[in-house]
């Protein structure tokens, strides 16, 4: 992929990718590493993107890489856990399960907030504006959603 094209994607999506990474890893340096790894692989031509799928690829990659790091560093206590020793592709199934759970057990508003933050990488302010509530209310809704997810997938963590 041409450097200019990669740069354009970087400028367009980096901030949102950072937000997803920070929300999952809670670590500035690690979040930068994860996002830069993705763009480095594009620069080296290891990944070829189909036009129109760039945003989805970048947001999914950042989420998956963060989850892999969490698993690797055994920091998954921050998120719902599953048994260890399962395949490397488990993260995708795991996230699908969480999304399925979210759609069936959370209120509509909580589902939207959860999705906007963890999948789309929206800022708290953007979510608050979209939902017409305060930022603190967004935090509390998200907090409730995460607690519910944890309770279902990893009751011991509570």
Partner 1 sequence: MNPLDDKKLFFDMQEHPENYSDEQLEAMMAELDKEPDTEEAWQKTLSRPLPCRERREYKWQHKLLLSLQGRGRERVRIAAIFTAIAFLGIMSLASYRAFFYKTTTDNGQQTTDTTAVKTERFYYDVQDGDTIFRFENIRLDSILAVVSRHYERQVIWGDKAPAHLRLFITCRTSHTLREFVDMMNMFDGFRITQDLNILYVESDEKKEGKR
What mask, x for binding partner 1 by CB under 8 A, covers residues 35 to 64? xx--xx--x---------------------
Segment interacting with partner 1 (CB under 8 A) among 33-41, 48-56, 63-71, 80-88: 33-41
The residue within the footprint of partner 1, chosen from 1, 5, 22, 55 (CB under 8 A), is 22
Asked if residue 6 lies in contact with residue 49, where contact means CB atoms within 8 angstroms, the answer is: no
The residue within the footprint of partner 1, chosen from 32, 55, 110, 120 (CB under 8 A), is 32
User: Which residues from 77-136 bind partner 1, rule CB under 8 A?
Assistant: 78, 123-125, 135-136
Q: How far is the CB of 138 from partner 1 (least distance, A)?
A: 8
Segment interacting with partner 1 (CB under 8 A) among 8-16, 56-64, 84-92, 106-114: 8-16
Q: How far is the CB of 104 from partner 1 (least distance, A)?
A: 22
3 sits near partner 1 (criterion: CB under 8 A) = yes
DSSP string computed for the chain: --HHHHHHHHHHHHHHHHHHHHHHH--HHHHHHHHHHHHHHHHTTS--PPTT-HHHHHHHHHHHHHHHHHHHTT-GGGS----SS--TTHHHHHHHHHHHHHHHHS-HHHHHHHHHHHTS---HHHHHHHHTS-HHHHHHHHHHHHHHHHHHH-GGG-
């Amino acid at each position: 992929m041409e450097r200019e094209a990669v740069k354009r994607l970087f400028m367009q999506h980096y901030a949102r990718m950072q937000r997803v990474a920070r929300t999952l890893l809670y670590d500035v340096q690690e979040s930068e590493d994860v996002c830069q790894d993705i763009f480095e692989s594009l620069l080296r031509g290891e990944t070829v993107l189909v036009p129109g799928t760039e945003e989805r690829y970048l947001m999914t990659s950042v989420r998956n890489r963060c989850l892999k790091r969490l698993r690797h560093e055994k920091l998954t206590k921050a998120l719902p856990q599953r048994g260890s020793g399962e395949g490397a592709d488990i993260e995708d199934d795991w996230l699908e399960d969480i999304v399925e759970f979210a759609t069936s057990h959370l209120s509509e508003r909580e589902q939207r907030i959860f999705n906007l933050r963890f999948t789309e990488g929206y800022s708290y302010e953007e979510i608050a504006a979209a939902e017409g509530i305060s930022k603190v209310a967004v935090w509390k809704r998200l907090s409730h959603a995460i607690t519910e997810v944890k309770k279902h997938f990893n009751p011991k963590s509570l």
